[in-house]
Structure 1
Amino acid sequence: MTLNRNLNRRFVERDRQWHPAAYTPGYKTSVPRSPSQALVSLQTPSVSELTGPEFSRLRMGPHDNDLLLNFRDADSPGLPVGERVIMFGRVVDQFGKPVPQTLVEMWQANAGGHYRHKKDSYLAPLDPNFGGVGRCLTDDDGWYHFRTIKPGPYPWPNGINTWRPAHIHVSVMGPAISTRLITQMYFEGDPLIPICPIVQTLKDEEAVGTMIGRLDMARSRPMDALAYRFDLVVRGELQTYFENQ
């Protein structure tokens, strides 16, 4: 892995009135995680902010972006249980230009809403044929593509009866270290989206919309999988909303 040393770029400042406040008591875990001191403004970006990993030589497995196949082995030759979906989209920078050969990673719960993680105590069972993680590189026009299972919603202890909508976590590096984005894709039409305490930290419906994957019947595979398009904008005024951490 090498460094992309294009220093002739500029970044548009994030609109912090659009993104959620770090301290949002309705989302309880934001309380201990929010900064206790004012943010520091960096007027001139450093070299470390303007450079980033160059992934074109990263060795990828044949099924890294296919979660139906990438957890199979000789002892577990079956397919995952659940609704098969395609998740795809385009990664662009703050000026609408595609970001080629950048790393997109994703992780998710299985169809029952259970993560393959030792601290996940939800009563839904694990799927022996589903790992829940994937990665790919964008092509020359910024497109990425995954095949997976639609994750299930699950309860979490933010309130007495609080549920997370079905969602897929996404990490994308973008053209430099400072453009790395971690967000979530929700599924269009899910009634749990507007009542999720994390989503409610946003006060702008347009910002919420940046996190929703839109059903795309033209890209769906007949008798196989529905497709959802989820475009990602890294950095700048129109950046996709990132997780409140």
Structure 2
Amino acid sequence: MTIERPNRPAMVRKPGEYFQRDRDIHPPAFTPGYKTSVTRSPQKALLSLEQSLSEMTGPVFNHNALGELDHDMILNYAKDGEPIGQRIIVHGRVMDESGKGIPHTLVEAWQANAGGRYRHKKDTYLAPIDPNFGGCGRCLTDEDGYYFFRTIKPGPYPWRNYINSWRPAHIHLSIFGPSFSQRLITQMYFEGDPLIDICPIVKTIPDEDAIKRLIAPMDLNASVPLDCRAYKFDIVLRGRRSTLFENRLEGN
């Protein structure tokens, strides 16, 4: 006896839109206390556009795009010795707003050296360049959204926002996610740095809890004895809205 399955509509999965950005916790574009925002902020009202397919898909990365030492800034630029400074590990998870880990996500990092000097021709700070430190690295998250890299703890440096302005020690991070709508560029600060509270850039953030999420606590459980201290920094990207599948809500 043959049992025929009833006809059902074809299964169609469309990428759901992402949650709108919460502008209550993001810094406004125009913040006169941060001087360069005055000329860089929009002069006209922002436009609200629907998310397009290209914004909800891609890019795709895999380990073939990475070098063996891309995640290790202690070794990936070293020529005749290791760089000078405090050896640290930075690790955490990349997840969406629903707490789901985001796998295969490209995390890129760049930073100043232990003296606060960038390897950039326009950086004229008097601190010396470390010949064994490039200050750039990248890695991919694993299946659970976990990432880590080794580096040297960066130093603070002066900048010309006002007289005697100093930026807290920080690491710049670029995270792609599985779509362009999730692209995030941010900075990670270090627990206990007194410069955080007086930094004009940090003070543009209107939400105190949002500022705290930019500060990485020391994590001795992930540290390597007699080698590296560790700092834990979780990163949250935008999450998708639920999508319809056979007239039922699926997913989050």
**Count of aligned residue pairs for this structure pair:** 228
TM-superposed CA distance for 1:37, in Å, is 1.0
**Alpha carbons of structure 1 residues 23 and 68: separation in structure 2 relative to 1, 3 Å:** same
1:34 matches 2:37: no
Contact residue 18 and residue 56 of structure 2 kept, 8 A? no
Partner of 1:240: none
Deviations 1:120-177 (A, max 9, x none): 0000000000000000000011011010000000000001010000000000001201
TM-superposed CA distance for 1:57, in Å, is 5.1
| 2:62 corresponds to which of 28, 39, 56 | 56
| 1:80 corresponds to which of 62, 78, 83 | 83
Distance (whole Å) between structure 2 residues aligned to residue 49 and residue 7 of structure 1: 13
Contact residue 63 and residue 140 of structure 2 kept, 8 A? no
Of the two, which has the highest radius of gyration? 2
| 1:188 corresponds to which of 188, 191, 213 | 191
Partner of 1:212: 215
Kindly report the root-mean-square deviation, in angstroms, between the aligned alpha carbons of the 2 structures. Answer: 1.3
Partner of 1:227: 230
**Alpha carbons of structure 1 residues 229 and 57: separation in structure 2 relative to 1, 3 Å:** closer
What pairs up with 1:137-152 in 2 under 5 angstroms? 137-152=140-155
**Alpha carbons of structure 1 residues 164 and 50: separation in structure 2 relative to 1, 3 Å:** same
Normalised TM-score (structure 1)? 0.90
TM-superposed CA distance for 1:9, in Å, is 2.3
Runs of 4+ displaced beyond 4 Å: none
TM-superposed CA distance for 1:45, in Å, is 1.2
Distance (whole Å) between structure 1 residues aligned to residue 64 and residue 47 of structure 2: 34
Distance (whole Å) between structure 2 residues aligned to residue 12 and residue 60 of structure 1: 30
Q: Which amino acid aligns with 1:156?
A: W
Distance (whole Å) between structure 1 residues aligned to residue 101 and residue 17 of structure 2: 16
**Alpha carbons of structure 1 residues 236 and 26: separation in structure 2 relative to 1, 3 Å:** farther
Contact residue 115 and residue 156 of structure 2 kept, 8 A? yes
Partner of 1:164: 167
TM-superposed CA distance for 1:11, in Å, is 1.2
Structure 1 counterpart SS, 2:17: coil
Which stretches in structure 2 are left out of the alignment for 5+ residues?
A: 1-12, 241-252
Partner of 2:51: 45
Distance (whole Å) between structure 1 residues aligned to residue 63 and residue 85 of structure 2: 34
Structure 1 counterpart SS, 2:217: strand
